[in-house]
Amino acid sequence: MRRHVMKMTAAVLLPSLLLYGCGISKREERAELPDDESNRLIVYNWGEYIDPETIEMFKEETGYDVIYDVFETNEIMYPKVAADPSQYDVICPSDYMIAKMAGEGLLAELDMDDMPQAKKNIGEDYWKMSRDFDPENKYSVPYCWGTVGILYNSKLIDEELDSWESLWDPKYNDDILMQDSVRDLFMVALKKLGYSLNSTDIDELEEAKELLIQQKPLVQAYVVDEVRDKMIAGESAIGVIYSGEAEYTREENEDLVYSIPKEGTNVWIDSWVVTKDSRHKKAAKEWIDFMCRPDIALMNFEYIYYSTPNVGAMELMDEETRANEVLFPDLSKYSGLEAYKYLGKDTDRLYYNLWKEIKSA
Amino acid sequence: MVKTKRIAGFLGLPYIFWAAAFIVIPLIMVVWYGLTDENGGFTFANVAAIANPAHSKALFMALLLSFIATIVCLLLAYPLCMFLVEAQKTSNSFLTMLLIVPMWMNFLLRTYAWQSILEKTGIINTFLTSIGLQPLRLINTNGAIILGMVYNFLPFMILPIYNALDDIDKNVINAARDLGASSRQTLTKVIFPLSLPGVISGITMVFIPALTTFVVSSLLGGGKILLIGNVIEQEFMVAYDWNLGSGLSLVLLIFIVINVIVSVLTERSEEDYAS
């Protein structure tokens, strides 16, 4: 309603601004649009989450003009896509965000028969893991998966860290990096307290908030991608990090050790999805299928070091890589592992408000 | 006469279009979003939300840090400008160039550069430890944010003050000296009052961007210090609550408007004084 009035105002004031008015107009339920004539494909992926060479290969092999854009967190990606879902064709969100976007009708249904490489190469275990957030495996194709854990510098720390407790240890004052995203920050505190990382209980969340406020003076910084560089440079001794990033940092600095805390942690999957309003759906499916080709999946794996769900690619790896416990951990050895679930708008808001209290404390 | 006026009006059209499209309409939208709730009903809650302790603390921190940054800029810029006006006669404005050149570089890059200077393993601390001193905790502090503000916005203080000082008729200064004013009296009674419009516009041009920044605070504050700019940015980008984000922007707008009114009033009284 209000957006309609906004649109009117814009139209009356300056006809040319109508375009902008449309941009913010409410998404209406409507049939999917046919592909437009152009050979463009707009991809929206995490930063540094692909071997750029594979984009070039895709362009060469298919002749599509790929526009590649990146985001830093699911929460930054979502509002941009929600504001105008036709802006992007293929996106690579995480599990809980896929559930949220699918629930809001932002995603197109995919027919796996259109994507033979995906059907053939993605392991059954990962389709099964996906069913936690995409029950019929109809919106998403797994791209990468992993855990969240502690990365520490064994030169600066002379004990083995295997618990979230150490992030509250005063002796590591100014040597701790925490993730600057709502769910990943709360996850650590909730797990330390022995609660579910999908908790919606206000008392548990308040308790987690208090714990994080108490930790704040010890924290060097709340960052996302910089955890990697700061850990490599020895700027900080401990950081909360994604397993794939961890493996990359270990290549650069051999003193770094990754561990999955004993209280449990988040196991996540990032998957390719196609927006419902995409005007380049054919190209989008070709992109996903191309990314599932074993040779391409292997290139990406070797570039970004995130665990791949691509069984075809794993067969191409050497024995040593396949046995790497950071990349391919035996999940049955750990307890308290959970995937994020979408908690609904009100709980999202609650998490966010508590997060603000921590950040301003 | 009439014809030139018409041409002038015509030339102004692109600006009028620009102002309407990118200033007036967005502003109307901010007001609109700020005063409505999710369902489009009128509400004052988004503006009143500034009373939320997290928000008011962020606003207070932003006011405090940008106030300090403005004062530091003024204290650095004024003597420098007096020096530059003098030096310009001899060194052909090379020094002024030196000040402007860094502005050609991207704002973000310059701020990132400060990160690697201030870090624990950064240039300053590496130097300190190499001569046997204890490293200092420089980054992710209020001081780092103030430094970032001063560094990034200092040229906006220098340029208007420089222009104001440069415009002062040397005869006025000579007359003051002739009539027996001491150096200090010339400065406080003649030069400073005449440069006041430059000072005021410098203050405005530093204070407002410093008050609203979220980049400096997130890059040099390590995400540990929340300014009102960060809160607003995150309401739009993370929480996707445009109404609350706009409501808080309106509160910030009040401070900006106060600042502008003060500067306009001071300039006007200066003009009255001059005529």
Banded model confidence at residue A301, pLDDT cuts 50, 70, 90: very high
| Better pLDDT: B168 or A8 | B168
The token pair that represents B68 in the structure block: 């300090």
Quick check: B64 contacting A, CB < 8 Å? no
Q: Tally A–B CB contacts below 8 A.
A: 87
Mean confidence (pLDDT) of chain A? 89
Q: Are A267 and A147 in contact (CB under 8 A)?
A: yes
Within 8 A of B140 by CB-CB distance, chain A residues are 220-221
8 Å CB contact of A221 and B21: no
pLDDT tens digit sequence for A114-160: 999 999 999 998 998 899 899 999 999 999 999 999 999 999 999 99
Within 8 A of A236 by CB-CB distance, chain B residues are 120
Q: Are B139 and B115 in contact (CB under 8 A)?
A: yes
Banded model confidence at residue A262, pLDDT cuts 50, 70, 90: very high
Q: What is the CATH number of the domain that holds A158?
A: 3.40.190.10
Quick check: B26 contacting A, CB < 8 Å? no
pLDDT at A31: 59
Q: Which residues pair with A239 in a beta bridge?
A: A151, A177
pLDDT at A277: 93
In this prediction, residues B204-218 reach a mean pLDDT of 95
pLDDT at B275: 58
**Nearest residue in B to A232, CA atom:** B121
Banded model confidence at residue B9, pLDDT cuts 50, 70, 90: confident
8 Å CB contact of A221 and B222: yes
8 Å CB contact of A216 and B58: no
Same domain assignment for residues A213 and A355: yes
Quick check: A138 contacting B, CB < 8 Å? no
Whole-angstrom Cα distance, residue B122 to residue A221? Answer: 15
With respect to residue A22, please indicate whether it lies within any of the assigned structural domains.
no
Mean confidence (pLDDT) of chain B? 90
Domain ranges of chain B: 50-274
Same domain assignment for residues A197 and A134: no
CB neighbour list of residue A295: distance below 8 Å, 6 or more residues apart: A313, A316
Same domain assignment for residues A116 and A139: yes
CB neighbour list of residue B146: distance below 8 Å, 6 or more residues apart: B65, B68, B69, B72
pLDDT at A5: 39
With respect to residue A14, please indicate whether it lies within any of the assigned structural domains.
no
With respect to residue A25, please indicate whether it lies within any of the assigned structural domains.
no
Within 8 A of B20 by CB-CB distance, chain A residues are 13-14
pLDDT at B1: 52
Within 8 A of B121 by CB-CB distance, chain A residues are 233-235
How many domains does the structure of chain A reveal? 2
Give the distance from CA B20 to its chain's centroid: 24
Q: Where do we find the tokens 């990034």?
A: B152
Whole-angstrom Cα distance, residue A218 to residue A131? Answer: 39
8 Å CB contact of A1 and B58: no
With respect to residue A182, please indicate whether it lies within any of the assigned structural domains.
yes
Q: Where do we find the tokens 């791209």?
A: A143
| B50-274 CATH fold | MetI-like fold (1.10.3720)
Within 8 A of B241 by CB-CB distance, chain A residues are 349
**Nearest residue in A to B119, CA atom:** A235
Quick check: B136 contacting A, CB < 8 Å? no
Within 8 A of A25 by CB-CB distance, chain B residues are none
In this prediction, residues A228-253 reach a mean pLDDT of 93
Same domain assignment for residues A158 and A53: no
In this prediction, residues B149-170 reach a mean pLDDT of 93
Residue A284, pLDDT above cutoff 70: yes
Residue A242, pLDDT above cutoff 70: yes
pLDDT at B7: 80
Same domain assignment for residues A243 and A167: yes
pLDDT tens digit sequence for A14-25: 333 333 333 344
pLDDT at B142: 96
Same domain assignment for residues A261 and A171: yes
**Nearest residue in A to B242, CA atom:** A79
Banded model confidence at residue A1, pLDDT cuts 50, 70, 90: very low
**Nearest residue in A to B61, CA atom:** A360
* Full domain range(s) for residue A356: 146-267+336-360
Q: Which of A87, A104, A10 is CA-nearest to residue A41?
A: A87
Maximum mean pLDDT: which of A279-288, B11-20, B94-103: A279-288
pLDDT at B91: 65
Within 8 A of A233 by CB-CB distance, chain B residues are 119, 121
With respect to residue A4, please indicate whether it lies within any of the assigned structural domains.
no
| Better pLDDT: A16 or A315 | A315
Return the percentage of chain A with pLDDT > 90, whole number: 76
Quick check: A13 contacting B, CB < 8 Å? yes
Within 8 A of A349 by CB-CB distance, chain B residues are 239, 241
Interface of A with B in 65-84 (CB under 8 A): 73, 75-76, 78-79, 82
8 Å CB contact of A223 and B40: no
8 Å CB contact of B238 and A76: yes
8 Å CB contact of B29 and A6: yes
Q: Which of B221, B193, B105, B215 is CA-nearest to residue B155?
A: B105
End-to-end CA distance of chain A: 38
**Nearest residue in B to A179, CA atom:** B223
Whole-angstrom Cα distance, residue A72 to residue A92? Answer: 11
How many CB atoms neighbour CB A8 within 10 A?
A: 12
Same domain assignment for residues A158 and A263: yes
With respect to residue A3, please indicate whether it lies within any of the assigned structural domains.
no
Within 8 A of B222 by CB-CB distance, chain A residues are 219-223
pLDDT tens digit sequence for B23-82: 999 999 999 999 999 898 999 999 999 999 999 999 999 999 999 999 999 999 999 999
In this prediction, residues A265-269 reach a mean pLDDT of 94
Quick check: A185 contacting B, CB < 8 Å? no
Same domain assignment for residues A82 and A179: no
Banded model confidence at residue B265, pLDDT cuts 50, 70, 90: confident
pLDDT at A18: 34
Whole-angstrom Cα distance, residue A176 to residue B140? Answer: 13
pLDDT tens digit sequence for B92-105: 567 777 877 888 88
8 Å CB contact of B25 and A14: yes
- Lowest-pLDDT range, A12-21, A92-101, B115-124? A12-21
The token pair that represents A253 in the structure block: 């600095």
Same domain assignment for residues A260 and A153: yes
Same domain assignment for residues A237 and A355: yes
- Mapping DSSP to helix (H, G, I), strand (E, B) and coil, where does residue B136 land? coil
pLDDT at B102: 82
What single-letter amino acid sits at A150? I
How many CB atoms neighbour CB A14 within 10 A?
A: 16
Within 8 A of B234 by CB-CB distance, chain A residues are 356
Same domain assignment for residues A207 and A185: yes
Same domain assignment for residues A316 and A346: no
8 Å CB contact of A356 and B224: no
Reported for A73-82, long-range contacts at CB under 8 A and 24+ positions apart, including other chains, are A73/A181, A73/A224, A73/B238, A74/A181, A75/A181, A75/A182, A75/B237, A75/B238, A75/B239, A76/B237, A76/B238, A77/A44, A78/B240, A79/B236, A79/B237, A79/B238, A79/B240, A80/A44, A81/A44, A81/A106, A81/A275, A82/A27, A82/A106, A82/B240
